[in-house]
């Protein structure tokens, strides 16, 4: 592999890892319940289906008819009780209303205390994502230093790649901060 490909290919690989870290954070934040109904809050819930724990969205239709309500309609009506139990056992803190055909989940407005608790949870997830980005930065710097030690790249190129990796790290840290700010604004919205 030519030298430039080795250096730039690795850089692209590290950037891809950072993108994935931000994507994981965004996916995690979807499951944090804000004041309005969001079908993604049900993503972690699984239901026993023929003895196999199956994600809720694979055994039922989830709709958002109103801003503060979700309607879960199982494709197999025999699952209704199992879905109801799974939702009650989850940490959503919502009691489903069973009408015999579907379950209605009405999301109450969040209390000020609960909002603050959720913003702390969001900040914690954001910090975990930043740590992940920093680990990728360290991995990249180690990679370029190893290339320099093996005399495959010059000291100048190693230094400039370290600078580029730091710029990339700063860029993704800003993206994480923006993602956290958006989620906190959504949580504090009344």
* Residues 76 and 118 grouped into a single domain: no
- Is the model's pLDDT at 93 over the cut of 80? no
CA 181 to chain CA centroid, nearest Å? 14
Q: pLDDT (tens digit, 9 = 90+) per residue, 131-184?
A: 999 999 999 999 999 999 998 888 999 899 999 999 999 999 999 999 999 988
Cβ atoms of 31 and 43 within 8 Å: the answer is: yes
Residues 60-85: pLDDT tens digits? Answer: 999 988 878 889 999 988 888 999 98
Sort 163 into a burial class: Cβ within 10 Å, 0-12 / 13-18 / 19+. exposed
Are 55 and 92 in the same domain? Answer: yes
Q: Domain holding 152: CATH number?
A: 1.10.132.20
Structure confidence at residue 51 as a pLDDT band (50, 70, 90): confident
Per-residue confidence (pLDDT) for residue 1, from 0 to 100: 39
Last residue of a domain, one of 106, 122, 140: 106
pLDDT at 10: 85
Residue 3, pLDDT > 60, answer: no
Range of the domain at 172: 3-31+111-188
| CATH for 65 | 3.30.1360.40
In the beta sheet, which residues pair with residue 62? Answer: 72
Average pLDDT over the chain, rounded to an integer: 87
- Residues 165, 152 share a domain: yes
């Amino acid at each position: 592999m030519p030298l430039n490909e080795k250096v730039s290919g690795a850089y692209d690989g590290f950037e891809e890892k950072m993108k994935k870290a931000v994507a994981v954070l965004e996916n995690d934040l979807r499951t944090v319940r804000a004041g309005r109904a969001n079908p993604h809050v049900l993503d972690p819930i699984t239901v026993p289906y023929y003895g196999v724990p199956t994600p809720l969205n694979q055994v039922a239709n989830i709709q958002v008819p109103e801003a503060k309500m979700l309607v879960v309609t199982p494709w197999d009506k025999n699952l209704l009780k199992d879905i109801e139990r799974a939702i009650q056992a989850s940490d959503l803190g919502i009691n489903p209303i069973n009408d015999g055909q579907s379950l209605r989940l009405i999301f109450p407005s969040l209390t000020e205390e609960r909002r603050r608790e959720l913003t702390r949870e969001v900040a914690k997830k954001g910090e975990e994502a930043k740590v992940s980005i920093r680990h990728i930065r360290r991995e990249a710097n180690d990679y370029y230093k190893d290339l320099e030690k093996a005399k495959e790249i010059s000291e100048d190129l190693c230094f400039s790649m370290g600078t580029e990796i730091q710029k990339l790290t700063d860029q993704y840290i800003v993206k994480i901060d923006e993602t956290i700010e958006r989620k906190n604004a959504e949580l504090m919205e009344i």
